[in-house]
Amino acid sequence: MSHRTRRILTTALVIALAAAAAEGRAGEAWEARAAQSARSAAKDLYVAFVRGDHAAFVNALYPGVVEAVGGREKMVAQLRSSIDDMRKNGMTLKSSTVDPPSRMVKVGRDGVQAILPTALIMGTPRGDMRTRSYLLGLSADGGKTWKFIDTGKLGREQLMKVVPELSSEIDVPVRPAPELLAK
């Protein structure tokens, strides 16, 4: 192999390695941006829920969930009724937390799915109670905007009925039992 051929091959290899490294950094940057966007949107969802903005809460839900309940107006009415019943029983929504996604998966060209651990703190007559859960976040635009489903007690099969495109790489964790917090 001539010196010139070796030099061309070496240059091509350096360019290929640099491109691969840049692509890896872009992938990491993309994932970090999508994770931050998912967490921020999930926090907004829970803030709306805790402050009683049922319309904003429903707007952030995955459309299949809203349709399954009977539409936007019916879901807002059911939320209001449930919150009123909670209050009558001495329960109040106090705060919420959303952790960074525990899993994020690209689906197709622009789809992204994520699992976000969450918790709601509720005041009860027996003291504050923490209810942990998981949100399934779904984005159709590369992680810029999100819609959510609280996986609650749903198993993978039930979730697949609402989200047939659910990635096989997304595990749906089991919701732990609520816990009474020490006073």
What does CATH list as the number for 3-180?
Answer: 3.10.450.100
Residues 146-159 have a mean pLDDT of 88
Look up the pTM and report it. Answer: 0.81
Q: Where are the domains of the chain?
A: 3-180
User: Which of 27, 33, 54, 57 minimizes the C-alpha distance to 45?
Assistant: 57
Query: pLDDT of 50-72, one tens digit each?
Result: 888 999 999 999 999 899 889 99
